[in-house]
Structures are given as C-alpha cells and as structure tokens.
C-alpha cells in the first residue's frame, strides 16, 4: 500500500516515522500532477507547499489547533493529509472545492479565496479562544509573500504585534510570487532576508576568533552580541518584523521537512506571536511547472502530465480582445496608463506592459490602493485603466465611491470574469459588480455582447473624463459576433418581428444577448410581437431604453448579475420614475452564494437558459 493511502488523518501522519516523510512527499507530488492534470486546478502552489504542510500537521494538532490558509489555493496537500484523497471531481459539481470548505471537513476554516485575509481571521480566532479560556489552542496563518502585499495583512500585523502572549504563528510562504513574481518594497525586503546570511556568519566568526583572545575575548564577544540589533539591521534586516514586536524565525528551507518541524516547534513553544519565514519553490518537483516563466503553473486546465502541455488549445477569450485593443489605444493615446493588482497576465495587460512598460503599474494585491492611485493619476491629466477580476472590485468599493466617483475622476475599470465563473466557487463569481456600481453617482457601465463591442466600448470609455466608467465581460471564450438590426439612439436592436408597438421588449445584458435573442425568437414563434435590444451602456438606464419600454406591453431583463439591485432593478426604477406603467420581469442570479460547478450547470440550475426563461415568461404575457 502506498504511504499516502495510509494517511487518513493528521494522527496517522504524526505516527509515520520521520525517515518515511521524503517518500510521502514524493508520493504527494506524483498524486497532484496525475490528478490535477485530469481536472485542472491550482497545481504550482500546491507542489511548493508539500513539506511545509506535512510539517504543519505534524507539529500542530488540527482541528484543535486551527490552520488558516491565505488564499486557500495551496490547500490541496492539506486536503490529502486530512482524509480527502478523491480528486476525481476536483472543482466540479459534487466534488472537492478548489479551496478550503467547511462543508468538507472540520479541518477547514476560511473558504473565502480573496487574498490577504488570513492574518485578520487568525487574530480573531486566537483572541476569541483565549477569551473563552482556551489559550492552549494554537492558531496558524499560512500567508504567501504575494498576499503580504495587501494592506489588510499589515493592518492585522499591526494589531497582532502588540499582543505579546497571543498563541499565534504566522508562516510566510515565500516563493517570490503571487500569480506572477511579487513586486514592491516588501518583496525587496523578503529578497534580502532570503539571500542574506551575513549576520549569523559574522557572529560565528566573532565567537571563534574572540574565544582565542586571552582574558578580554569573552567580554568582547558579549559586547559584540549586545550590539547585535545594529549589526542585524545592516546584514540581515529581519529587524523590520522585530521592530514591530514580532519574533522572527528563519529563513527556513521550505523543502527540508525536519528543519521545518524544528522551526515550527520553536514557534509553537514561544508563548507569543511568531513569524516563521519559509522559502519554497512554486512548482517544486515538476519540471514543466518550474520552466513556466509566466506563473509556474499557478492554475492549469487539463494537461498532459508527462509534458505539461494542454490537451486542448483554447480559443480566443474575452480577455484577448481587451488585451489587443489596449495595445492599440496605447499607441494612439499616450495619456492612457494601466493598473492591476498582481494579475497582469490574467487580466490581459501583458501586451500593454510589453509595449509601454513605463505606463503600467502593478501594485500587488492592493485593490484599494490601485483605485485611489488611479484617481490621482487622473487628477494629473492621465486616463488610467484599472483591470481586475470582477469579484475583486468588491474590495475597493469605498475608494471607487469616495476617491474616484466623488471627485469625478476619469478612470476606466475593466472587470474580467464578470458573472458566473463556476468552478472556483462562491468567492470567485463576479456577480456583485452591477449591483454595487448601480448606486455610484456619475458612473457609467458597459456590458459588451461580443469581442467587437469590447473594443468599441473600451474606446468609448477612455474618452470619458468626467467620471468613472466600467467595462465588464465574462470568463471563457468570447461570444460569436452579434450584428444589430438597427440602432435606436445608443441602443442596438438585435431582433424584432413587428413595427413600433410590441408585446414584449427583451433587454439582454452583455454576454446574455444571445440568450435574449434565442428567448425572444421562441416567444415570437408562438405568435407574440417581440423586440430584443442590447443597451450597450446599461448603467445608468438610458432614455432610449425607457422610450422603447413605453412602446411595449411588458419588459424582460436578462442579466449575469444579482437580480437584487441589478440592471433589471435599475430598469424598473427608471420606468417608474418616467411614469411608464408596464410590468418588468427580471432574470438573473438570486441573492445567495453559489456552489462550485461548471458555468453551464450553474446557469441551468438558476433557470438562466433560453428555454427556462421562455417557460417562465410566456404565462405572464
């Protein structure tokens, strides 16, 4: 029997002799490559934390001791060591989540896959347990160097550091990367810690040399050791952490399991908050991942495990349209600059960065800073384009509202992976953005229906200088081109089977335009008069949409966003304010968190297919 098969819990792991741990680590890596290559998932991050996760579970007693992973995409090894070894449906409906999940195991705590949160969680858990008289239970936060670029992590450190008896261990998993290489002042500091061993060597030399000096040698060494703080600041600047009041251990080789156990045991016994700085290699043990300069196989689809090459060549995606058009705009508009939060490649700014490197700012996992910095750039006369995943705009709402919109800053926001994304679960669905942005005064939001509209509306957006604009589009292959029949003002008519007056006006939002057309055609086939439109700029609701609704007996809005506070709600309010008394039927995402599954499965479950919309809508007409 393979060693991994015998590890049904952390108790079984603790019982394994130390000399068998290297073999277990090798089995885990082999398992990860074999299984994740079949399903897709976060491969590189997990290959890098095999020994670290083994050591954590051997030193601490999960679930009595709490392990909090930031952001959670490196939790596959943790799942394996806590009895979850069926990866056949990883990230698929009915299978394991790609992140920690309380529904799966008592060993999982934080499901949210938004970065830089683990230290705040851990601070609260540790203090809460101490107040409950459970001060002997330890809390461990595992946070990457990339996640440490987020301001929330430093807010937590500021509070943790003053509590000298808090039983909390912070493990900094330092692989020099978040998605791509970590950048910024913190990254430079960690690089210094990673490479500087001069302090220890200096003291070792001093002790050996001065010990040979008669009478005064010992005293001189004690004096030297007494000024170690000054020396340490020069040759090994871990003083940044110690100045905050945190005990620092490391750097520790993250692939030396026994060294990790020793360091973690010291941290556990210290009696207060400790940082254990661990150096790991993303993609460890799998050469195709190590050779991948872009992201060390941070996340992969189905691949050939022997070569690391994908089995299917992906088609053109929505992000590609944005990527190419940004390069073209950059050539035409030297005032256009771009910002992202540690996601340069995933959001499609790598082309712009290659062409105009001085006009791109990767701020790390710091969306709040990105938005306010963009407002400052706009004030200086530039037009910033801030590109993030739609789910991460949530993190910078206050800055969007008070720093950008209040000051009428001409900033364009690109929201990639908007709507239902599916397999990454509740925290990655970009289903909140139109609800959030709908309440921002002066903000204009476009939802392109295809690649041509991405390009066209991006150019329209960067021409706006008196307030924020938003362009949002989904994950995956770009939609087939949808040609308008005609235009009514700024609204594109995509289908109609009557003259001026119609039984039903269908408003298709963004990528749901094709669904709206299909539903409209099916209803028209049953003898109804129907007009299907794409507003293009969906927020605020245009007078043209109101005018078209005035000439319809009913309106239906189909959107890839929350029904609550979404475009349908905005249309309803706009019609009421204009005195247009027609029923509005809204179809979108209900106000609940969605389980991981494919996008198609989720949309079908929510009733967001043409057949389901028609079946619900027809009896109401």
242, pLDDT greater than 80: no
pLDDT of residue 462: 98
> What pLDDT score was predicted for residue 598?
93
Stretch 487-493: mean pLDDT: 97
Closest CA to 522 of 615, 447, 442: 615
**pLDDT confidence tier of residue 239, bands split at 50, 70 and 90:** low
Looking at the predicted structure, is the pLDDT value of residue 329 above 70?
Answer: yes
Question: Was 225 annotated as part of a binding site?
Answer: no
pLDDT surpasses 80 at 190: no
The Cβ of residue 595 has, within 10 Å, a number of other Cβ atoms equal to 16
Spell out the residues 6+ positions from residue 276 whose beta carbon is closer than 8 angstroms to its own: 169, 170, 171, 172, 249, 250, 252, 263, 264, 267
What percentage of the chain exceeds 90 in pLDDT?
Answer: 79
Q: What is the pLDDT of residue 193?
A: 54
* pLDDT (0 to 100) of residue 197: 47
pLDDT at 114: 87
Catalytic residue of the set 79, 91, 395, 417:
395
200 belongs to an annotated ligand binding site: no
Per-residue pLDDT band at 223 (split at 50, 70, 90): very low
More confident residue, 542 or 214: 542
CA–CA separation, 504 and 497 (whole Å):
11
Residue 528 annotated to the active site: no
Average pLDDT, the chain: 90
The pLDDT assigned to 188 comes to: 53
Tell me the pLDDT band of 293, cut-offs 50, 70 and 90: confident
At residue 217, the pLDDT reads: 47
177 is catalytic: no
Annotated active-site residue 475? The verdict is no
CB-CB contact of 494 with 484 (8 Å): yes
175 is in an annotated binding site: yes
Q: Single out the residue of 432, 533, 522 nearest to residue 489, CA to CA.
A: 533
Residue 286 assigned as binding residue: yes
pLDDT tens-digit profile of 359-386?
Answer: 999 999 999 999 999 999 999 999 999 9
Q: 399 with 368: CB under 8 angstroms?
A: yes
| 536-564: average pLDDT | 97
Q: What pLDDT is stored for residue 228 in this prediction?
A: 40
Q: What angle do CA 291, 293, 296 make, to 5 degrees?
A: 70
Q: Which residues contact 577 (CB under 8 A, 6 or more apart)?
A: none
Name which of 117-126, 176-185, 352-361, 394-403 the model is least confident about: 176-185
List 206's β-bridge partners, or say none. none
What is the reported pLDDT for 235?
A: 38
Confidence bin at 192 (pLDDT 50/70/90): low
Name the active-site residue from 35, 321, 367, 518. Answer: 367
Name the maximum alpha-carbon separation found in the chain: 108
Flag whether 146 is marked binding. yes
At 2-50, the pLDDT tens digits run 999 999 999 999 999 999 999 999 999 999 999 999 999 999 999 999 9
CB 29 within 8 A of CB 40: no
Give the C-alpha separation, 569 to 575, whole Å.
10
User: Per mean pLDDT, which range of 278-282, 311-315, 421-425, 581-585 is the poorest?
Assistant: 311-315
Residue owning tokens 């002997």: 136
pLDDT score for 422: 86
Sorting pLDDT into bands at 50, 70 and 90, what band is 182?
low
Query: Around Cβ 402, how many Cβ atoms within 10 Å?
Result: 14
The single residue of 127, 130, 282, 475 carrying the catalytic annotation is 282
């Amino acid at each position: 029997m393979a060693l991994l098969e015998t590890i049904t819990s952390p108790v079984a792991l603790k019982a394994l002799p130390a000399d068998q741990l290297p073999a277990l680590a090798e089995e885990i890596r082999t398992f990860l490559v074999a299984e994740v290559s079949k399903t897709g998932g976060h491969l590189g991050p997990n290959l890098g934390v095999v020994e670290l996760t083994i050591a954590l579970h051997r030193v601490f007693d999960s679930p009595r001791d709490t392990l909090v992973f930031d952001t959670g995409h490196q939790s596959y090894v943790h799942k394996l060591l806590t009895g979850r070894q069926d990866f056949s449906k990883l990230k698929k409906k009915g299978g394991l989540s790609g992140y920690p999940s309380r529904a799966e195991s008592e060993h999982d705590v934080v499901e949210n896959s938004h970065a830089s949160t683990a230290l705040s969680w851990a601070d609260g858990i540790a203090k809460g347990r101490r107040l409950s008289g459970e001060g002997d239970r330890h809390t461990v936060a595992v946070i990457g160097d990339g996640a440490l670029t987020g301001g929330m992590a430093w807010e937590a450190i500021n509070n943790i550091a003053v509590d000298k008896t808090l039983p909390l261990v912070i493990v900094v998993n330092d692989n020099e990367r978040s998605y791509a290489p970590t950048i910024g002042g913190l990254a430079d500091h960690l690089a210094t810690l990673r490479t500087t061993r001069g302090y220890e060597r200096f003291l070792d030399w001093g002790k050996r040399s001065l010990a040979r000096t008669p009478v005064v040698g010992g005293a001189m060494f004690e004096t030297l050791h007494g000024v170690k703080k000054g020396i340490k600041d020069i040759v090994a600047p871990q003083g940044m952490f110690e100045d905050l009041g945190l005990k620092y251990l490391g750097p520790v080789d993250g692939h030396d399991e026994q060294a990790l156990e020793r360091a973690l045991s010291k941290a556990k016994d210290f009696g207060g908050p400790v940082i254990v700085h661990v150096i790991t290699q993303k993609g460890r043990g799998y050469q195709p991942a190590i050779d991948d300069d872009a992201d060390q196989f941070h996340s992969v689809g189905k691949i050939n495990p022997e070569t690391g090459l994908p089995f299917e060549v992906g088609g053109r995606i929505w992000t590609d349209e944005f990527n190419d058009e940004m390069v073209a705009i950059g050539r035409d508009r030297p005032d256009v600059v771009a910002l992202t939060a540690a996601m340069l490649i995933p959001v499609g700014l790598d082309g712009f960065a290659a062409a105009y490197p001085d006009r791109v700012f990767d701020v790390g996992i710091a969306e709040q800073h990105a938005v306010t910095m963009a407002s400052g750039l706009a004030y200086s006369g530039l037009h910033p384009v801030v590109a993030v995943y739609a789910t991460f705009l949530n993190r910078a709402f206050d800055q969007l509202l008070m720093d950008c919109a209040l000051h009428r800053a001409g900033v364009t926001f690109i929201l990639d992976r908007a709507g239902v994304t599916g397999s990454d679960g509740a925290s990655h669905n970009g289903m909140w953005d139109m609800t959030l942005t709908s309440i921002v005064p002066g903000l204009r939001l476009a939802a392109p229906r295809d690649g041509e509209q991405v390009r066209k509306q991006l150019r329209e957006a960067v021409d706006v200088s008196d307030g924020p604009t938003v362009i949002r589009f989904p994950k995956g292959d770009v939609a087939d081109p949808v040609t308008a029949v005609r235009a009514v003002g700024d609204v594109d008519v995509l289908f109609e089977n009557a003259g001026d007056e119609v039984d039903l006006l269908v408003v298709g939002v963004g990528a749901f335009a094709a669904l709206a057309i299909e539903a409209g055609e099916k209803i028209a086939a049953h003898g109804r008069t129907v007009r299907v439109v794409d507003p293009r700029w969906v927020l605020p609701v245009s007078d043209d949409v109101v005018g078209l609704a005035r000439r319809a007996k009913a309106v239906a809005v189909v959107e890839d966003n929350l029904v609550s506070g979404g475009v349908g709600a905005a249309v309803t309010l706009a019609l009421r304010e204009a005195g247009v008394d027609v029923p509005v039927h809204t179809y979108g995402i209900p106000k609940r968190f969605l389980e991981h599954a494919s996008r198609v499965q989720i949309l079908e479950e929510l009733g967001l297919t043409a057949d389901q919309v028609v079946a619900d809508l027809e009896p109401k007409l």
